[in-house]
Structure 1
């Protein structure tokens, strides 16, 4: 899959890089930390994902756990055998419910931001938990995701949404 540089991927990249800087973690150290949470990646692969901003939400949550960031309660991987994809799906669904959003309403709100995705596509991605981190950022543009405020300013999300509309 080829990478497409967008305002959203740049924001995702800045968010991840900012976390690494705040925690004082290099890419080499990050690879070791990720291995400790059972994610085997090369330094080059991790650096590429972070620099491009092209990573799944599950990778961002693993990153938070690996660098021992202060995690919101909902992101702590439960003791039962729940996958990171399950955590992503649960987190996104909880946010939809908290804001009274359906997949159809979300798709319509995204369309106003210049993001074309059908309700069916959203549902499939969210239920699988295999969606990109940018989708969680995009959700926060239409329905602020409180847990993200620890890692990215809401004003940056709103500016990115405006920039995407103008660039798109």
Structure 2
């Protein structure tokens, strides 16, 4: 399926570029860093993902890792629980969701129970709970409340502009 640029993928791409710029790394350097850490990524695959902004949250976390960038402190507890990148992604999403949901984690559990059918059985919920969702989806969550962990990579005003349709998908 061809990639369709959206304001959300533009923001994801921008966040990845921020990491590369902050660490002064070229795409070849990043691909080599991925391979040294045991990930199967070529320069072409890294370039395609970063340029399109169509990558999973787990890839973004791996990018931070291989570039030796500092992980947002808000997410460190999620890494303490597991070394599986997809499980960490799911934990981060649920943690961020709980931070903006009345009642916190208990509120999220209650809402999930109330919406058991569509949420528990849908493809989107499987992506969220399995940690295979796009990084753009995590950015979308920041529309509901500030997400300090993303402030290192994106301006909140740009997240709101994407939500309101005011951010050009080629930016």
Q: Which residue of 1 aligns with 2:101?
A: 100
* Within-5 A mapping of 1:129-168: 129-163=131-165
Other-structure match for 2:56: 56
Q: TM-score, normalised by structure 2?
A: 0.79
Matches of 1:28 and 1:75 in 2, distance apart? 28
Which runs of structure 1 show a deviation greater than 6 angstroms over 4 or more consecutive aligned residues?
103-106, 164-167
Alpha-carbon distance in structure 1 between the residues aligned to 2:41 and 2:26: 14
Answer 1 or 2: higher relative contact order, Cα 8 Å, separation at least 6.
2
Query: Any stretches of 5+ residues in structure 1 without a counterpart?
Result: 107-117
Match of 2:105 in 1: none
Aligned to 1:22: 22
TM-score when normalising by structure 1: 0.81
CA contact (8 A) 1:61 1:75 kept: no
- Residue 103 of structure 1 deviates from its aligned partner by 8.9
Deviations 1:103-140 (A, max 9, x none): 9979xxxxxxxxxxx74344211110000000000001
Question: What is the distance in 2 between the residues matched to 1:144 and 1:85?
Answer: 23
1:22-45 CA distance string (max 9 Å, x none): 210000000111123321111111
CA distance in 2, matches of 1:145, 1:138: 10
Q: Which has the larger radius of gyration?
A: 2
User: What is the rounded CA distance, in whole Å, between the counterparts of 1:156 and 1:104 in structure 2?
Assistant: 31
Distance (Å, rounded) in 2 between the aligned partners of 1:103 and 1:157: 26
Distance in 1 between residues matched to 2:46 and 2:12, nearest whole Å: 14
Mapped to 1, the partners of 2:111 and 2:6 lie a distance apart of 23
Aligned length: 156
Query: Are the structure 2 counterparts of residues 126 and 40 from structure 1 closer, same or farther at C-alpha, using a change threshold of 3 Å?
Result: same
| Cα distance in 1 between the residues matched to 2:100 and 2:13 | 26
